[in-house]
């Protein structure tokens, strides 16, 4: 059984209703470009609006975080990823969610409790120590580390927030040692947020009328930990990518990961209805595709996205339930490559003009962008 099905079935058996709608595109009126977390689409209901499906929910939400783009290339960060989530909208509290979390990891996923360590909010000058979570973990026999800032969750400077408890798994060789804050071989797998407060502009806190639970468990990271791999790219989720891309193009490890991540993410973004453009969501997509092409052409300018086998499109889009748009997604990637090739040729032609045979200043960059549509980063890559 797949990990996401195991997760959802566990919570369905405990009265949770699966939520539908896993698009990267937020609901109308939401100011953000993309859905960034499992709780994002549920914000109105976490604020107290009644949810049509009830007070216990479970789901898989695909997410995109532009804030992580610079981290992509390391073993764990991805642009598009999937978040398994469970929610209590004013129903059960922290003891129940933590006991279920422990039970699912131990019995559902077969994780040895001896490989677990948890962190709990230790209190600060506004909110006291999270006694209920501490007592729960102590009764389950799991070692606890108390922290302050690391165990306080908020979705921004104001709005719903509260203490959280994070579950870590030991990934090192031999017996576990140290704690989550002293040894990075402890890797966080699941965060349980006790959403109990609202923070105001002046920093003050007010207890929420509806106390919620919001948990988030990254599917790709869970797969990595359960399969005992050193990176998310080595897991079953990326099998065809890691089999095909190294054969197709010889790249260093970091570049290979970036190319795989950005191509996979671009496919999913297009599958959710976004087209490359110079603004908003389309610009994020355009940047991803152009970064791939820049990396590919660094050592061999004959490389092309038209060499990507259909298997990669089909595997990715079927996984994200977008299988009906395989042909469209492939065509759009290739069209964007052609557009970028033409732009580069035009850019080289313009930059060969004697006016630009010097160190470029701000006026040059503005002129090239406004008159010729050449963004600053593109100009820098051409003159570099």
Strand 116-121, strand 152-154: pairing = unpaired
Supply the pLDDT for residue 21. Answer: 64
Instruction: Write the DSSP string, 145-191.
Output: EEESGGGEEESSSSEEEEEEEEEEEE-SSSS--S-TTT-TTEEEEEE
How far apart, in whole angstroms, are the C-alpha atoms of residue 225 and residue 210?
34
Supply the pLDDT for residue 35. Answer: 84
Supply the pLDDT for residue 236. Answer: 94
Supply the pLDDT for residue 134. Answer: 97
- Which residues face 103 on adjacent strands? none
How far apart, in whole angstroms, are the C-alpha atoms of residue 61 and residue 74?
22
End-to-end CA distance of the chain: 50
How far apart, in whole angstroms, are the C-alpha atoms of residue 223 and residue 239?
12
Supply the pLDDT for residue 373. Answer: 77
Supply the pLDDT for residue 144. Answer: 97
Long-range contacts of 352-357 (CB under 8 A, 24+ apart): 356/383
Superfamily of domain 3-228: Bira Bifunctional Protein; Domain 2 (3.30.930.10)
Supply the pLDDT for residue 383. Answer: 77
Phi then psi for residue 221, to 5 deg, are -70, -40
What pTM does this model have? 0.89
How far apart, in whole angstroms, are the C-alpha atoms of residue 88 and residue 362?
52
The H or E element that residue 222 is part of is: helix 219-227
Supply the pLDDT for residue 46. Answer: 85
Residue that has been written with the tokens 């610079």 in this structure: 70
Counting as low any pLDDT under 50, the low residues of the chain are: none
């Amino acid at each position: 059984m797949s990990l996401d099905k195991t997760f959802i079935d566990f919570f369905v058996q405990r009265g949770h209703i699966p939520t539908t709608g896993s698009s990267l595109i937020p609901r109308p009126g939401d100011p953000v470009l993309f859905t960034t977390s499992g709780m994002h689409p549920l914000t109105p209901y976490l604020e107290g609006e009644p949810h049509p499906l009830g007070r216990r929910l479970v789901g898989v939400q695909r997410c995109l975080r532009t804030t992580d783009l610079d981290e992509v290339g390391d073993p764990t960060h991805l642009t598009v990823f999937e978040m398994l989530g469970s929610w209590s909208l004013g129903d059960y509290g922290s003891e129940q969610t933590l006991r279920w979390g422990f039970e699912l990891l131990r019995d559902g996923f077969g994780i040895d409790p001896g490989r677990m360590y948890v962190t709990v909010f230790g209190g600060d000058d506004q909110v006291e120590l999270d006694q209920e979570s501490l007592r729960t973990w102590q009764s389950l026999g799991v070692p606890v580390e108390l922290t302050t800032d690391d165990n306080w969750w908020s979705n921004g400077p104001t709005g719903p927030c509260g203490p959280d408890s994070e579950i870590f798994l030991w990934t090192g060789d031999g017996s576990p040692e140290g704690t989550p804050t002293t040894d990075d071989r402890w890797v966080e797998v699941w965060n349980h947020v006790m959403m109990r407060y609202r923070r105001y502009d002046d920093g003050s806190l007010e207890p929420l009328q509806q106390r919620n639970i919001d948990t988030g468990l990254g599917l790709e990271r869970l797969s990595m930990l359960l399969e005992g791999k050193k990176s998310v790219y080595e897991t079953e989720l990326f099998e065809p990518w890691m089999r095909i891309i190294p054969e197709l193009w010889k790249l260093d490890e970091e570049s290979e990961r970036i190319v795989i991540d950005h191509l996979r993410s671009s496919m999913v973004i297009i599958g959710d209805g976004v087209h490359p453009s110079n603004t908003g969501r389309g610009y994020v997509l355009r940047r991803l595709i152009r970064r791939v092409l820049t990396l590919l052409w660094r050592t061999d300018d004959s490389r092309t996205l038209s060499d990507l086998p259909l298997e990669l499109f089909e595997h990715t889009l079927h996984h994200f339930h977008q299988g009906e748009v395989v042909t469209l997604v492939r065509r759009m990637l290739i069209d964007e490559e052609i557009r970028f090739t033409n732009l580069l040729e035009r850019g080289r032609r313009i930059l060969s003009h004697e006016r630009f045979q010097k160190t470029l200043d701000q006026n040059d960059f503005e002129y090239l962008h406004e008159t010729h549509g050449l963004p600053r980063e593109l100009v820098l890559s051409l003159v570099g």
